[in-house]
Amino acid sequence: MMDNTNDMLREAVARLLGDGTSATQTMQLESVGLDAKLWAGFQELGLRGDDLGVGLDAKMIVLQEVGRAGALVPYAESEVLARWLAAAAGLQLGDATSTIVAQVIDAAPPAGGAASLNLQGVSIAWGRHATRVLVPCKVAGRSFVADIEPAALELRAEANIAGEPRDVVQAQSLSVPASKLHPVTDVAAFDRLSSLGALCRTAAIVGALATSLELAVQYAQDRKQFGKSLSQFQIIQSYLAEMAAEVCAAGVAHDLGVGGATRDDGWGDVAVAKVRAGQAANTVAKLAHQIHGAIGMTQEYPLHVWTRRLWAWREEYGNELFWGRALGRSLVEGGEDSFWPRMTSASFRMASEQRGSAE
């Protein structure tokens, strides 16, 4: 039943994106940093809001489609990450476009009822388009979510290499009144934030990988060199087969991660997913460009809409080195004898989870 519902969701989102955006549109809107009309379409389709009754798995399907379409919308930050933090603090965000600070900030203890946050230099995805910015912070050892209006942050407009807003805070110090500091009851929510961000990027990568492969297959069939289609050259067939294997593997790894995160007992698989998707992004982007030749390197042809996303997303929320190291440390610390049992466990826990469950 769940699968069926998710299939319907995927179709609906794909239709919205198919009608509402294109590579050309994404390119044209890059200077603005938001496809506002499309983002409003997400609202109309009921994809934005607090209590939509959709699970993490469903939201990851939406994100895959966003990646597949190369759409310029802040779905991951506004509808997954901000809602996650808001839920942990018992906040409602309504239909606001929201975003988060992706790291836990140590705040100075409240003086006169207000806490002081120093966010200078912090990057905030889609900040300029958000009406609310949620900041996970620690005040005197306790966890809070600070609910901030972006105007106070004095954001400088910047972007990642895919042209998505990654604005930087210029304000030196921020006074947050107690009424805007919401205590967090679920302490694990902060620990999971970077993993959840990694899962979001993985979902989007999986979508972008599929489109990159499709473009490469199409181009190889259309483009003729030395009297025959590129697709008739065995080496090109081999490249495309390798890309297809990577796309398939990244999809399976992502599904593993979604399972671990949804059950909240296997965050190790989220690390697996981000590493595997990053590896796939490397291979697929490289080979897609190799197959496309020089035209793929220009703005005349849309491949870059997806490859620039792959290159940006594989780094955000931890690249292969970051998560590979976390995975490796966790397994090495567990020792030789527990290595294989953990590989075969339905719930692949990180060391931190194991400690948590042992307590």
Binding site for other proteins (CB under 8 A): 210, 213-214, 217-218, 220-221, 231-232, 234, 236-238, 240-242, 244-245, 247-249, 251-253, 255-256, 259, 269, 271-273, 275-276, 279, 320-321, 323-329, 331-333, 335-336, 339-340, 343-344, 346, 348
Which one-letter amino acid corresponds to residue 62?
Answer: V
Angle between helices 188-222 and 303-313 (to 10 degrees): 150
Cβ closer to other proteins: 198 or 305? 198
Kindly state the smallest distance separating residue 334's Cβ from other proteins, in Å. 8
**Helix then strand then coil, % of the chain, to nearest 5:** 60, 15, 25
Kindly state the smallest distance separating residue 149's Cβ from other proteins, in Å. 40
Cβ closer to other proteins: 41 or 259? 259
Cβ closer to other proteins: 28 or 238? 238
Q: Which residues of 220-234 are buried (b: 16+ CB within 10 A; e: fewer)?
A: beeeeeeeeebbeee
Cβ closer to other proteins: 93 or 280? 280
Angle between helices 268-292 and 234-263 (to 10 degrees): 160
Cβ closer to other proteins: 164 or 320? 320
Q: How far apart are CA 89 and CA 186, in angstroms?
A: 8
Q: Which string of DSSP letters, residue by residue, matches 176-243? A: EEGGGEEE-S-THHHHHHHHHHHHHHHHHHHHHHHHHHHHHHHHHHH-EETTEEGGGSHHHHHHHHHH
DSSP-derived 3-state class of residue 324: helix
The answer to whether 220 and 236 are in contact (CB under 8 A) is yes
Cβ closer to other proteins: 111 or 343? 343
311 CA to centre of own chain:
13
Kindly state the smallest distance separating residue 187's Cβ from other proteins, in Å. 26
Kindly state the smallest distance separating residue 273's Cβ from other proteins, in Å. 8
Kindly state the smallest distance separating residue 99's Cβ from other proteins, in Å. 28
- CA atoms within 13 A of residue 194's CA, in its CB half-sphere: 13
The answer to whether 308 and 299 are in contact (CB under 8 A) is no
Kindly state the smallest distance separating residue 289's Cβ from other proteins, in Å. 18
Kindly state the smallest distance separating residue 329's Cβ from other proteins, in Å. 5
Name which of 132, 120, 143, 250 is nearest 193 in CA terms.
Answer: 143
Cβ closer to other proteins: 77 or 269? 269
